[in-house]
Amino acid sequence: MFHIFEKINNNEVYVIAEMSANHGKSLENALELVKKAYEAGADCLKIQTYTADSMTIDCDNDYFKIKGGLWDGYNLYDLYEEALTPYEWQARIKEECEKYGMDFLSTPFDKDAVDFLENIGIEAYKIASFELVDIPLIEYAASKGKPMIISTGMGSLEEIQDALDACKRAGNDQVVLLKCCSEYPANWADMHLKNIPDMKERFNVPIGLSDHSEGSLSAIVAVTLGACVVEKHLKLDGVKSADSEFSMSFNEFKSMVDDIKKTLSSLKGPDYTLTEGEARSTAFRRSIFAVKDIKKGDKFTEENIRVIRPGFGAKPKFYKDFLGKECKRDVLRGEPLKDEDII
């Protein structure tokens, strides 16, 4: 059973650790990343299912060269060859996720990848931002009747709606959209996180964040804005890959998960009732006290009563009601005054 909607319906945040290329071409590293994702508190480990040939063609002309950014100078085919997760590893990675009680998720990039993932028992599909416009792929994956998690980087409102409509045509309404900025790494000014509540209202589906920005700030802000899923890349220390530059270390990822839980805890409300701790703290509020000995029949003055801490006397808002009135009893300096002390 895939647990994303269980977590969402329980008002929790579902956290996805993206492996991507961070295995560094080593199955041992890939399995270690599963363990680290579990130890960091992730709910799910995600990989990608493609070959270089399913992504593009091996061509060196200018159309297929990357210019600028993290992968400047790469030929597309060579980049995908370097970054892919071999198909023969994927069932083993899924098995390792199951060993730790984590969900396993993958992003297919063509129909053959969907068929392969079906054969190894995939329970949900992730659609990458760059494939948001691949409606035939989305419709085919959605036709399998499993949860669809769709990143919306670069997507216009029309393109996002097209993807949702493709899922509906396939009879699949188990859709989560992820706000995403498809920059690597993403600048904070480009994150547009206020899209999250707007997307929730427009599309009436759960909204999360696929985050390529530095650190966990965007993830925490997203949660405060209603994101119920957070996806971040996780890397191993000392392993360089095509994605390691914008990926989180284990300690960073674990801290983010902890901060997400604290953020959710702090977002309770509206609730204006006092907590137990606040109720105890009321003893140290200000209230009306005698600051000199006062005899029965003496008048209360600014010299013999004051508003001070602690809070065992009458509330400060009644201070003027005391002034000029006679005292009903003998009061010693340092005693709290009550409403019934006024004659």
- Taking residue 277's Cβ as centre, other Cβ atoms within 10 Å add up to 7
**Contact between residue 322 and residue 337 where contact means Cβ atoms under 8 Å apart:** yes
Structure tokens at 324: 């000029």
Give the separation between CA 340 and CA 343, rounded to whole angstroms: 8
pLDDT per 10-residue tile (average), the chain, 343 residues: 96 97 96 98 98 95 88 88 96 98 98 98 98 98 98 98 98 98 92 98 98 96 98 96 91 98 95 96 97 98 98 98 97 97 94
Structure token pair of residue 166: 């493709």
Question: What is the reported pLDDT for 288?
Answer: 98
Domains of the chain with bracketed CATH: 4-266 (3.20.20.70), 276-341 (3.90.1210.10)
pLDDT (0 to 100) of residue 197: 98
